[in-house]
Structure 1
């Protein structure tokens, strides 16, 4: 009798009981999965949209921040609306336009083809080696910094300069600035977008190349093809479409409209940003 009771106490689950437990566990897991799947999918989708929005916003803000430092009338966009170039200003000020009452003072003489220096009025300026001097750039034939009419190579370099010297080259600046302003520029900057379906395109920033009369538009041709490192930087990938539009809204103002679409896993985010340009030279 005792042996029979001990035998009953040591009995385990039957095969039927184990199968029933497995079936019930599967049903419960399936029911839980149905309720959890939607929130998890929604979270993943929301995270992907947030990443796309952040990447798009950062790229547009980067362009807007840099283009606000552009030399007046130097922003140019190619015919495709996918290549933007401008000349960033590194320093600026006012030049002495006339001598003192006693005839002293180093002023900029626009009637002289040999005068290549002037005194800086106001705070001194910092000039990096290889910079260029620009006076009254209109972005038009005869007064265009890209072609060289309103631009000269600076021979002065250093920090806290109270006077500047430049290479005249036998021809003085074509026009004096009504407000006696000058700008110091270095090398151009290009933002080049190459969109592809499904978000396989890219947006890159190029810099450090010589100023060209004609706008460079091909990443596989000079001068953009030979650039590397920080002079050929990827701003963002996943680019499905993009456009740059530059409109002159008045004689002294312009409007740059930037549109960028990023796509990932079938979802797209499109942002638009407008930048006011002060074209008063």
Structure 2
């Protein structure tokens, strides 16, 4: 009977080499798969963070008075005034063309404040410069209170004449200004600093400051604006990236602010 032959040393070496190659390839494949999974998971987190930033800005800007939106020269800060209510006013208001005496009240059709307390009213605004001013002839002025429930009269903080009447005889009530600013690698929200009449800059305006997101890469410019007209809504374009652990996701979003002439 023939005796079974054992494996030679050369055969054992070949087997070990082959097993080593297979193990190396398998290890490389596993490492690549794990790395790809981690990168995909990181990108997904960045996408969610970026979308949350966009949703926060969009939620506030879509109820802003279009002509209250203005952007700093650098494009890093955007300021706006949120609407709290709107109403039809009764009769013509004093303006620069009709020469009627300044008024301290605006009579309106009945309305209620649906989105919070108001500090300002605007009539016939056509530019941010007509809003961010304390002139006695302007499209914006402060209010001291509302009369009636539902309200049928707005008491102004002082006698006022508007630049022009609204083509639809509409008066809009707004909150104090707010702003979003990209500073360094952060997105900040400012509120409670009152009405500032100078040109909008990137400087801290005071008031309350809230951090909305970190790991931000601002675009150039971050904010840009296509202003509203009587027949066209305002369009804000925001451009930024979110970076973390070597991964970056870029965002470019347009936000429509419907015109309210």
**What TM bracket, shorter-length normalisation?**
0.7 to 0.9
| CA–CA distance in structure 1, aligned partners of residues 56 and 243 of structure 2 | 19
Following superposition, the deviation at residue 73 of structure 1 comes to: 1.2
Instruction: Please name the residue that 1:11 is paired with.
Output: none
| 1:34 corresponds to | 28
State the match for 2:194 in structure 1: 210
CA RMSD after TM alignment: 2.8
Match in the other structure for 2:152? 162
> In the alignment, what sits opposite 1:175?
164
Q: Work out whether residues 85 and 112 of structure 2, in 8 Å CA contact, stay in contact via their aligned partners in 1.
A: no
Q: Is residue 125 of structure 2 the alignment partner of residue 137 of structure 1?
A: yes
8 Å Cα contact 1:114-1:168 kept in structure 2:
no
Q: Shift of the alpha carbon at 1:47?
A: 0.6
Q: Aligned equivalents of 1:173 and 1:213: distance in 2?
A: 17
Say which one has the larger Rg: 1
Task: Between the two structures, name the one with larger relative contact order (CA 8 Å, sep ≥ 6).
Answer: 2
Cα offset for 1:154?
1.2
Q: For residue 69 of structure 2, what is the aligned residue in structure 1? A: 75
TM-score, normalized by length of structure 2? 0.78
Matched, 1:147 2:133: yes
Unaligned runs of 5+ in 2: 1-15
In 1: Cα distance, 2:111 partner to 2:118 partner: 21
1:58 alignment partner in structure 2: 52
The counterpart of 1:256, out of the listed 233, 236, 247, is 236
**Structure 1 Cα separation of the partners of residues 73 and 229 of structure 2:** 21
Partner of 2:111: 123
Aligned length: 234
Are positions 1:47 and 2:37 aligned together?
no
Whole-angstrom distance in 2 between the partners of 1:245 and 1:125: 31
**SS at 1:90 equivalent:** strand
Q: Which residue in 1 is equivalent to 2:245? A: 265
Mapping of residues 237-248 of structure 1, within 5 Å: 237-242=214-219, 243-248=222-227
Normalised by the length of structure 1, the TM-score is 0.73
Q: Secondary structure at the match of 2:50?
A: helix
Contact 2:237/2:253 (CA < 8 Å) preserved in 1?
A: yes
